[in-house]
Amino acid sequence: MTTLRKLPAELALNGNVPRKHSHQLSFRRLPSPTFFLGLALVVMFAVYVLLGSYTVTIPDFFKIVIAHMTGGEKIPGASFIVMEHKLPRAAIGTLIGVAFGLAGALFQTMLRNPLASPDIIGISYGASAAAVTAIVIFGASGAVVSWAALGGALGVAAIIYAISRGTGSGAGGGSRGNAAGNRLILAGVGIAAALHAVVNFLMTRADIRTAADVLVWLNGSLNSANWERTGILMASLLVLVPAVIILAGPLRILELGDDAAAGLGIRVNATRLGLVLTAVGLAASATAAAGPVAFVAFLAGPIGRRIVRKPSLPASAFTGALIVLAADFFASNIAPAILDGTVLPVGVITGALGAPFLLWLLVTSNRKEA
């Protein structure tokens, strides 16, 4: 018995088993990369609200928020800038980043294609075409444009999904699933090209002032951010994010292929329909709130995957929000100093990031295949 009691101590001194186990426990205690992404988002949110062309100290910020909530004494100028400009703009930027990030990750994971984002497959163009039609032809503005964009995105998504559901030549469930995914992407690209032509035609028919308003909306902008839009978008996410959580498990199984997923008890067609509806709802809600902010849905998933080294919906959401907040902070505070006072829409910055990232993604993919 004495020998047996001393044996673990001797192993701890001379062997590797307990020491290795101890290292494993220490590594497990380290926060995950997703945690650090969330922390970076909190820091970026604070930087966005506190710094910039108008800086606010931390004590003043809490004093302003508490006074706003309790009806206390306001700080002249600072209270208005924080509560009516900076804070709602940061909030809606975070929310649309989360929505676009989740929408892109859902499409890319479901279709197993990094190009399958709402920007590429026509969802954003559907929202844009409907919104531009409402502005140019019917003279709409404000909430009417947002509802038109939402309806346009949902309508185009229904058309794309109906086309992708066409009968394929594959014999197996997996072949049919892959064919449906390829048809969905190709149908989306074709419809996006047609809708882009519609938007260009409508722009030629608009007067200069209307065309300028349409152009700002098409680029994606947070200039119209307010608490009403933030509340509507928050309400949408309170419905759609739980749906993402419910569908996350079946989505992981669906990555194994349609046949394997069906064998494991997943209703493949119903799950895919639910994923499409949820992803479209996320993209449409974000587009209705701020316009089609380019390439956020396309960038968030691959960047988040590179950071956490695996497909991750939370990482995609955090990355999308980080991209929007950082891009809008640059567009609102740094770009004017460089461009002689010109304030850029956030979509111009994210669009400028999209092309080089696509090239980088292609180069790194070719190196891995080589």
Residue predicted with more confidence, 247 or 353? 247
Question: Which run of H or E residues covers position 204?
Answer: helix 173-205
89 CB burial (10 A radius; 0-12, 13-18, 19+): buried
Cα–Cα distance measured from residue 41 to residue 189, given in angstroms and rounded to the nearest whole number: 32
CA distances from 110 to 42, 252, 264 (A): 29, 9, 17
Instruction: Tell me what pLDDT residue 167 has.
Output: 45
DSSP string over 253-294: HHTT-HHHHHHTT--HHHHHHHHHHHHHHHHHHHHHHH---T
Model-level pTM?
Answer: 0.86
Alpha-carbon span 116 to 186, nearest angstrom: 10
Question: With 80 as the cut, is the pLDDT of residue 169 above it?
Answer: no
Neighbours of 315 (CB within 10 A): 27
Query: Residue 7 is which amino acid?
Result: L
pLDDT in tens, 2-48: 444 444 444 344 444 444 444 444 445 668 899 999 999 999 999 99
- Residue 346 DSSP symbol: H
Q: Alpha-carbon distance 370 to 363, whole Å? A: 11
Q: Any idea which of 144-158, 187-201, 356-370 has the lowest mean pLDDT?
A: 356-370
Give 205-247 pLDDT, tens digit per residue.
888 888 888 888 888 999 889 999 999 999 999 999 999 999 9
